[in-house]
Amino acid sequence: MNAHKSFKTATVNTEIHYPDDSDIKSLVRFDADTGLIWQGEDRVLLMHAAAISALRNELIELFGLDYARGLITRMGYVSGVRDAELAKKLRPENELEAFLCGPQLHMLKGIAQVRLKILRMDIKKGQFYGEFMRQHSWEDETDIADARHSEGPMCWHQIGYSTGYTSSLMGKFILFNEVECVSKGDSRCLTIGKPAEEWQDQEEQMQYFKPVSLITQILDLQSYHANLKSASKTDFSHCEIIGESSAFKRSFEQLIKAAETKITVLIQGETGVGKELFAKALHDRSARAAAPFIAVNCGAIPADLIESELFGVERGAYTGAHQSRPGRFERAHGGTIFLDEIGELPAAAQSKLLRVLQEGEVERLGGTHTHKVDVRVVAATNVDLEQATQSGNFRRDLYYRLNAYPVLIPPLRDRVQDIPLLAERLLQKHSSIYGKKVRGFSDRAIQALKSYRFPGNIRELSNMIERGITLAPSGGQIEVADLFTIYEEDKSKPAKGLNLFGAGSQCNTLRQLCEAAIKDKITINDIESELLLTALDSTNGNLSAAARSIGITRAQFEYRLKKRGH
């Protein structure tokens, strides 16, 4: 069931007073040290009105009123849609208060003062009619200051915002038009919103919500240029291997150079960085691409079976060996064998592997003659093999053979620039598997991913994205709470937000709570359980209100309750 179906019908025919906006102001957070400002999950900017006005004026001068109007209207539309998503979560149980969240956000951002004169709205029936008066519009002030006079409306951003906000909330396209505007000599700004089909000049108004041909041509040229540019560079998009960071490119370029030769490659890196994907990419780009690629996890095979798995076994070699069979090396003949977790090989298997590297032949377990093999060996490890040789756990001569061409894959924390790219690729992959569509990630979710240390690297990121798709609402965005069971932001300084009067307020309570929890050895699970139950008690068992009070969705709240056994 869509969220908007839970709203009640609202009909207002007189000017109304806005509800308390402390819930909205509490979502605005400042972090001057990192240069980030948040409105809920979205990153927002504080910019001088003069700077935006200068951009608006330049667009008008360069491209004319129609082009500038369309671009600024569409910018407003996107902003309205984002705010509507926030309003649905913030005030999900009251249609009127949810709708009024839009004008309140509009005013909080300094766009204009908005007074609601008439509102008739029934979301379930798709009925809407609204009249709004605006004062102190930044767009009017810009046009008046520049002595610009127009026969048409000039508050383009606000028309786009109102249209995007209301359309998203209603679930159908509600078109707003400014029928009176101070910029064209009227005494006030008056906008009216109603379903697009109810406007006589619908086609004329709708053109401003569609990219014009000039934009299409520019985008086509940019796309063509990007394709030419990418074609002349190394392709870093093989399989799931993507990245733009210098650390990633350096490692991948090393691998590509090795692919052109027969040299033995040792891939090093932490767990989860994608060593097998790199090995497969090397194989696919080598002259052996048409031959087999055999991957072996040496740490996953019992020590008493590893020799027979790698080098084969002759009939009768041991109890249960009823027939002869080739090992992985023979099956990889002509191709590549990838030995992951090579440091886990027992001593006997290390000796036989050295013979393969030196002589190009294997001897099956229980056999009396050798088999020639032409196999390229790519090994991988997340342990320090040099240290293992010093401790006597790994043969020094084998280490030197394997370490002929070392390639170090950087951990995810050293390639932060690649995290959004990887997240989007994994989102496409898991969305396809689950058959569920989500609208990407919130700004705050991306920021949280970029600031996380990722001890499990890409494997951990993949698991987080999969969990995010599971928890996020269909058609919605993946937010921080969907990705992290518990997410701790930097608490080294108190967070700064807006109090009821719009001034900065500091919150040390959370820091003190964390310090007390550490002192008393209280676990994260204990804290989460108590927080959930306290929120539920404080709202008399109202799940939606309880979820809203701690900043998550009802679905996330129910999931956590169930997970904690409540």
Domain count along the chain: 2
Please report, for residues 294, 333, 336, 356, the alpha-carbon distance to residue 374 in angstroms, rounded to integers and kept in the order given: 13, 5, 9, 9
Q: If DSSP states are collapsed to H, E and C, what string results for 58-79?
A: HHHHHHCHHHHHHHHHHHHHHH
pLDDT of amino acid 397: 95
- Could you tell me if 44 and 126 are in contact, meaning their C-beta atoms sit under 8 angstroms apart? no
pLDDT of amino acid 261: 92
Measure the CA–CA gap between 406 and 254, rounded to whole angstroms: 9
Its pTM stands at: 0.68
Does any domain span residue 498?
A: no
Does any domain span residue 546?
A: no
pLDDT of amino acid 78: 92
Does any domain span residue 522?
A: no
Sheet holding 113-122, edge to edge: 10-12, 113-122, 127-135, 189-195, 174-180
Residue that is last in its domain, among 174, 198, 217: 217
Measure the CA–CA gap between 255 and 279, rounded to whole angstroms: 8
Residue that is last in its domain, among 352, 379, 409: 409
Does any domain span residue 178?
A: yes
pLDDT of amino acid 8: 45
Same domain, 118 and 185: yes
Q: Quick one: angle between helices 554-563 and 457-471, nearest 10?
A: 120
CATH number, domain with residue 259: 3.40.50.300
Reading the block at residue 168, the tokens are 């998203």
Same domain, 254 and 369: yes
Same domain, 202 and 256: no
Does any domain span residue 468?
A: no
pLDDT of amino acid 27: 86
pLDDT of amino acid 15: 57
Show the beta-strand stretches assigned E in 7-94. 10-12, 28-31, 36-39, 42-44
Question: Pairing relation of β-strands 174-180 and 189-195?
Answer: antiparallel
Same domain, 255 and 141: no
Same domain, 393 and 282: yes
Buried b (16+ CB within 10 A) or exposed e, 371-392: bebebbbbbbbbeebeebbeee
Measure the CA–CA gap between 218 and 197, rounded to whole angstroms: 31
Same domain, 56 and 142: yes
Residue that is last in its domain, among 381, 409, 437: 409
Same domain, 398 and 322: yes
222's CB contacts (< 8 A; 6+ apart) are none
Measure the CA–CA gap between 101 and 478, rounded to whole angstroms: 22
Same domain, 43 and 139: yes
- Could you tell me if 283 and 294 are in contact, meaning their C-beta atoms sit under 8 angstroms apart? no
Instruction: Provide the 3-class DSSP secondary structure of residue 134.
Output: strand
Same domain, 212 and 252: no
- Residue for token pair 């079976």: 305
CATH number, domain with residue 164: 3.90.1520
pLDDT of amino acid 230: 43
- Could you tell me if 382 and 268 are in contact, meaning their C-beta atoms sit under 8 angstroms apart? yes
Same domain, 263 and 181: no
Same domain, 110 and 183: yes
Reading the block at residue 486, the tokens are 């518990």
Same domain, 390 and 325: yes
Residue 492 carries which DSSP code? S
Does any domain span residue 225?
A: no
Does any domain span residue 542?
A: no
Question: Pairing relation of β-strands 42-44 and 36-39?
Answer: antiparallel
Reading the block at residue 169, the tokens are 């909330």
The range of the structural domain enclosing residue 305 comes to 246-409
Does any domain span residue 566?
A: no
Residue 19 carries which DSSP code? P
Tens digit of pLDDT at every position of the chain (566 positions): 344 444 444 555 555 678 888 888 888 888 888 888 988 888 999 989 889 989 998 988 888 888 899 999 999 999 999 999 999 988 988 888 999 999 999 899 999 999 988 999 998 899 999 999 998 888 988 877 776 666 778 899 999 999 999 999 999 999 999 999 888 888 889 999 999 999 998 888 998 998 755 445 454 555 545 544 444 444 444 445 888 899 999 999 999 999 989 999 999 999 999 999 999 999 999 999 999 999 999 989 988 889 899 999 988 777 777 788 899 999 999 999 999 999 999 999 999 999 999 999 998 988 888 899 999 999 999 889 999 999 999 999 999 999 999 999 999 999 999 999 999 999 999 999 999 989 899 998 999 999 899 999 999 999 999 999 999 988 889 999 899 877 655 444 444 555 433 444 444 456 667 767 777 778 887 788 888 888 888 887 888 778 878 878 777 888 788 877 77
Measure the CA–CA gap between 85 and 83, rounded to whole angstroms: 5
